[in-house]
């Protein structure tokens, strides 16, 4: 009896499964490039009651500015109505706002501090 030769079925080209560093099989690779996180500026607002000295100390302590720089920022806020004290990731900016607001309330001052997303 003649031996039947099975038809050869062409196989798709083999490709080893890709793995990440933790040994997990990846079905799809994520895009190589990720956008840098959106940054947020922390802004102090002027008011008629918070003492200038308190604002200078807040800017020095919470935004790591030297006394001269802190004084310049405070005067800018006093004259223009608002001023940027620093630029941070969203979470860090929110923490700065909370810390400044808490310090102002504790001292009995109405100082306002807000975070604003930066475009780009």
Asked if residues 61 and 73 have their Cβ atoms less than 8 Å apart, the reply is no
Is the Cβ–Cβ distance between 83 and 44 less than 8 Å? yes
Q: How far is CA 94 from CA 18, 37, 62, in A?
A: 39, 14, 12
Q: Applying CB under 6 A, which part among 1-9, 15-23, 25-33, 39-47 lies near ligand TYC?
A: 39-47
Least distance (Å) from ligand TYC to the CB of residue 53? 9
Of the candidate spans 20-28, 32-40, 41-49, 92-100, the one that interacts with ligand TYC by CB under 6 A turns out to be 41-49
**In this complex, which beta carbon is closest to ligand TYC, that of residue 40 or of residue 111?**
111
Residues 52 to 111 in contact with ligand TYC, rule: CB under 6 A:
52, 55, 74, 77-78, 111
Kindly state the smallest distance separating residue 51's Cβ from ligand TYC, in Å: 5
Using the minimum distance from each CB to ligand TYC, give the nearer residue, 1 or 79. Answer: 79
Q: Count residues binding ligand TYC (CB under 6 A).
A: 13
Gap between the Cα atoms of 45 and 68, Å rounded = 19
Whether 118 and 40 have beta carbons less than 8 Å apart is answered as yes
Q: Where are the beta strands (DSSP E) in 1-120?
A: 18-19, 25-26, 39-45, 82-89, 112-117
44 binds ligand TYC (CB under 6 A): yes
Q: Which of 18, 20, 51, 64 binds ligand TYC (CB under 6 A)?
A: 51
């Amino acid at each position: 009896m003649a031996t039947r030769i099975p038809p050869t079925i062409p196989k798709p080209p083999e490709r080893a499964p890709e793995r990440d560093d933790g040994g997990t099989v990846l079905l799809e690779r994520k895009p190589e490039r990720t956008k840098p996180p959106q940054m947020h500026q922390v802004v102090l607002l002027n008011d008629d009651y918070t003492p200038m000295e308190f604002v200078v100390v807040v800017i020095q302590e919470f935004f790591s500015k030297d006394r001269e720089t802190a004084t310049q920022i405070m005067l800018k806020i006093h004259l223009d109505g608002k001023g940027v004290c620093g630029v941070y990731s969203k979470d860090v900016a929110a923490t700065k706002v909370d810390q400044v607001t808490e310090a102002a309330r504790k001292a009995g001052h109405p100082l306002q501090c807000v975070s604003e997303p930066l475009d780009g």
